[in-house]
Amino acid sequence: MQRVYVDSHCHLNMLDNVDDAILHAKERGVEHFLCVAVTLDDHPELMKISALHHNVFISVGLHPNEMPNKAISAKELIELASNSRVIAIGETGLDYYRLEGDKKWQQDRFVQHIECARQLSKPLIIHTRQAKEDTIAMLASHDAKKVGGVMHCFTEDWETAQQALDLGFYISFSGIVTFKNATELQAVAKKVPLDRMLIETDSPYLAPVPHRGKPNLPGYVCHVAEYIAGLRGETIETIAQKTTENFFTLFSPPS
């Protein structure tokens, strides 16, 4: 069985050479990419990359770490996300790691993304850090289950994973799962149903073992698959096939 991988979350626009990174990935069996926005300023470059590479799809969104003076209107978000190359809304969510004081602006922005995703019937890409309770609660209270999505670069416990799964979300594992001290996350990776799992690099960040500490590349998603296969007692081919199928089931990218 030929291994075909999808990098379900990367930032190609942050790499030194997009063409080289895609070629490097293709040589390792990575055939499809979701290039994820962190600001609306990314949109023109992401559209250009996607136009040049038919197997690169993109998202539209404003990362929760982008400060409150980065305003966004629902109309603008919907207009940008209406293009067929845009297959998801995000990354969005809550990140309380460095947030001090008022959290409302971040929560309001999160709600706005959820509502736009529902209006467009496009899945959400969720970022959460030290905010798991509020993230799950807001997804539930604002009917995010109607569009679903993915908990990207998942680092939480099994209870949180179960709650996300119950809301119709997929769980995506990055290179963090290969880190020696990520024992709780590795336990989660053993339990997540195979038909609800995705893999990603989040490149250029979080390179997996054996490249930890170096710039990450989409081609390294195969190491994530290999590690999870070992954890679960599955073949690498099975992990590659199922996570690729899951990507197409969730995001329904255009052919």
Contacts of 223 by beta carbon, 8 Å cutoff, 6+ apart? 175, 178, 208, 209, 210, 211
Length of the chain: 255
Annotated binding residue 113: no
Residue 48: CB atoms within 10 A of its CB come to 13
Distances, alpha carbon 115 to alpha carbons 92, 97, 111, in Å: 12, 25, 6
- Answer whether 82's CB lies under 8 Å from 89's CB: no
Annotated binding residue 91: yes
Helix-helix angle 74-81:104-120, to 10 degrees: 40
Give which of 75, 73, 172, 63 is closest to 120, Cα–Cα: 75
For 131-172, give the secondary structure using H, E and C: CHHHHHHHHHHCCHHHCCEEECCCCCCHHHHHHHHHCCEEEE
Token representation of residue 177: 């799962």
- Answer whether 5's CB lies under 8 Å from 55's CB: no
Annotated binding residue 11: yes
Annotated binding residue 9: yes
Token representation of residue 157: 């416990």
Q: Which helix (H) or strand (E) holds 117?
A: helix 104-120
Annotated binding residue 156: no
Token representation of residue 52: 């040049």
Please give the annotated binding residues, written as ranges. Answer: 9, 11, 91, 127, 152, 202
Residue numbers in the known binding site for a divalent metal cation are 9, 11, 91, 127, 152, 202
